[in-house]
Chain A
């Protein structure tokens, strides 16, 4: 006769409420694990999806994911002629926040190296890759844009021609893909007044300097567009991504590029590692610690619940002992209830999570390994938390029936 099941059946409402409480707690533990996974996945998604071999960044920096990196766009051309390099393309990435239809719209602007990269590698769920060097964009569905939507960014209007799914930046914002030129135009967009002021300042500086006084023609040139002035540097990109020829020894290429002195080279794995150990490391450690705390709290709460359930049965346990019941029967009663509470709580947590997590603003990724490990943890917690109740039950004396 299974006493645990009969006791639960008798106090079904109480047990169900307790199980729901435990489930909510376990769902939070599960969710924290999912947020942890989501953080890692979001952080490394771009590096993984782009799938290049080398990241060439500003000398002495760790690349755009760790700090500001600026390299000239013509670095692409220099890299293309290095033996073993199959392709090189500029990488531009920055986050902007604008208003769209009265709501804030935050996105990671990602540059595609047109015309080599039109975004064919992107996981499109609708629309098409870029077909024009300007004014087209591919947006992630998270941004809430539709195909054909027009978006004013800076001085230009961009049309959404493609939609991706699950393409997020490390901050959890959706990615939007433009040509590198457009991405830079968005990044360095200045108002007409700013341009006029800058030109006036340039003229003023030229007038004050000796070269301006001796060569008045320069003062007039200083007021013209930046693009026509060779002394003003061209726009910079964050990095240049290199794809190697099959069979090429990466070390050899790295050695060649590293010798240039104005850039540093990192492999894709190093960039990934950099992301995990750098940008998201503290966040993931914090979540990991918080998750650990939640597991401990769950164990304590389950212990108290089972202890209370045992206290409610002290008289019955005393009667069982009086009747000569073996300790195994009484231990089984408490242990089975603990395991049932854990298993039902865990199952409920899983189904509640499947229902609730998709509504979270950031991705909550529940992977099989995490489910298995949490399942094992729940079983261990169930057994450990029943120990307090078992300890109490073992101390009950049969003569307590008389009290």
Chain B
């Protein structure tokens, strides 16, 4: 893989919850960068700070200190945002979670279309692009189904399509396969690899599933809020 520009950079991120006796340091001086097209796994035991890091660079949960740069621009310094974070989330970041979190009253197609319309894409164009994405992710036959009519794997594919709708620079996934069986879990992980490499998005996936680590370009590990790199595991 050729060296590309960083999609996101974290510099010295620290997150402290509570204060005094109840103070908990969830993340300690975490620095890393994720390049465009790079697919990275983030592993570690529960409470290691993985989700804290993910939500911090996803501009959902600001760090206590440190800086976050997206496309080379400082977007967050400590808890203070230097940009409109909502607009940045809309334009630059896609999210996938353990649960698909699809809007229950919208069809699969509408869920993806909504993400585009939120980003001011005209309805007709949004519909066309959403259809293409769902075809790309293999759920073209479920366009008009409401989320409750889809299997867990199908819902997760729709969630990935939604996350990819606006061609994000950064795709963040928090335990996306936790609710799936091993076969479907692997399929979803391979999907992340595919979209990362095909679409050029930096992909960071928090996972407990050690069996699928071979699909990632790199694996990061966190423990007690500290981040370190793990050597690549070849199958």
Q: Which residue of B lies closest to A329 (CB)?
A: B118
Chain A residues 309 to 329 lying within 8 A of chain B, measured CB to CB, are 315-316, 319-326, 329
Chain B residues 181 to 207 lying within 8 A of chain A, measured CB to CB, are none
Please judge, given known A-B contacts A6-B110, A324-B90, whether A11 and B105 are in contact too, CB under 8 Å: yes
Q: How far is the CA of A402 from the CA of B206 in the complex (A)?
A: 13
Q: Are B118 and A401 in contact (CB under 8 A)?
A: no
Q: How far is the CA of A9 from the CA of B101 in the complex (A)?
A: 19
Asked if A10 lies at the interface with its beta carbon under 8 angstroms from chain B, I say: yes
Q: Are B103 and A324 in contact (CB under 8 A)?
A: no
Which residues from B are CB-within-8-Å of A321?
Answer: 86
Asked if A7 lies at the interface with its beta carbon under 8 angstroms from chain B, I say: yes
Contact of B89 among A9, A315, A323 (CB under 8 A): A323
Asked if B114 lies at the interface with its beta carbon under 8 angstroms from chain A, I say: yes
Contact of B119 among A319, A324, A401 (CB under 8 A): A324
Q: Are B118 and A323 in contact (CB under 8 A)?
A: yes
Q: How far is the CA of A320 from the CA of B110 in the complex (A)?
A: 13
Asked if B160 lies at the interface with its beta carbon under 8 angstroms from chain A, I say: no
Q: Interface code B118-132, partner A: CB below 8 Å = 1, 0 otherwise?
A: 110001000000000
Which residues from A are CB-within-8-Å of B104?
Answer: 10, 316
Tell me how far the C-beta of A80 lies from the nearest C-beta in chain B, rounded to whole angstroms.
Answer: 79
Q: Which residue of B lies closest to A7 (CB)?
A: B105
Asked if A166 lies at the interface with its beta carbon under 8 angstroms from chain B, I say: no
Please judge, given known A-B contacts A6-B106, A321-B86, whether A399 and B118 are in contact too, CB under 8 Å: no
Asked if B113 lies at the interface with its beta carbon under 8 angstroms from chain A, I say: yes
Which residues from B are CB-within-8-Å of A6?
Answer: 105-106, 110
Which residues from A are CB-within-8-Å of B123?
Answer: 1
Asked if B208 lies at the interface with its beta carbon under 8 angstroms from chain A, I say: no
Asked if B55 lies at the interface with its beta carbon under 8 angstroms from chain A, I say: yes
Chain A residues 359 to 403 lying within 8 A of chain B, measured CB to CB, are 398-399, 401-402
Q: Are B146 and A10 in contact (CB under 8 A)?
A: yes
Asked if B218 lies at the interface with its beta carbon under 8 angstroms from chain A, I say: no
Q: How far is the CA of A366 from the CA of B51 in the complex (A)?
A: 61
Which residues from A are CB-within-8-Å of B118?
Answer: 320, 323-326, 329
Tell me how far the C-beta of B222 lies from the nearest C-beta in chain A, rounded to whole angstroms.
Answer: 17
Q: Are B105 and A1 in contact (CB under 8 A)?
A: no
Asked if B33 lies at the interface with its beta carbon under 8 angstroms from chain A, I say: no
Tell me how far the C-beta of A2 lies from the nearest C-beta in chain B, rounded to whole angstroms.
Answer: 11
Tell me how far the C-beta of B27 lies from the nearest C-beta in chain A, rounded to whole angstroms.
Answer: 15
Q: Which residue of A lies closest to B91 (CB)?
A: A324
Please judge, given known A-B contacts A1-B113, A1-B117, A402-B55, whether A322 and B95 are in contact too, CB under 8 Å: yes
Q: Which residue of A lies closest to B107 (CB)?
A: A6
Contact of B103 among A9, A11, A319, A326 (CB under 8 A): A319
Q: Interface code B77-118, partner A: CB below 8 Å = 1, 0 otherwise?
A: 000000000111111000101000101111000100111011
Chain B residues 38 to 68 lying within 8 A of chain A, measured CB to CB, are 51, 55, 60-61
Q: Are A324 and B87 in contact (CB under 8 A)?
A: yes
Q: Which residue of A lies closest to B117 (CB)?
A: A1
Q: Which residue of A lies closest to B98 (CB)?
A: A402
Contact of B105 among A9, A320, A324 (CB under 8 A): A9
Residues of A within 8 A of B (CB): 1, 3, 6-7, 9-11, 315-316, 319-326, 329, 398-399, 401-402
A-B residue pairs, 8 tightest by C-beta: A324-B90, A10-B105, A324-B89, A7-B105, A399-B60, A325-B118, A324-B86, A319-B101
A-B contact pairs, 24 of them (CB 8 A): A1-B110, A1-B113, A1-B114, A3-B103, A3-B106, A6-B105, A6-B110, A7-B105, A10-B146, A316-B105, A320-B118, A322-B95, A323-B89, A323-B162, A324-B87, A325-B86, A325-B90, A398-B60, A398-B89, A399-B55, A399-B60, A399-B61, A401-B97, A402-B97
- Extra contacts, 6 of them, besides A319-B101, A402-B97 (Cβ < 8 A), are A1-B106, A319-B103, A323-B95, A324-B119, A398-B60, A402-B60
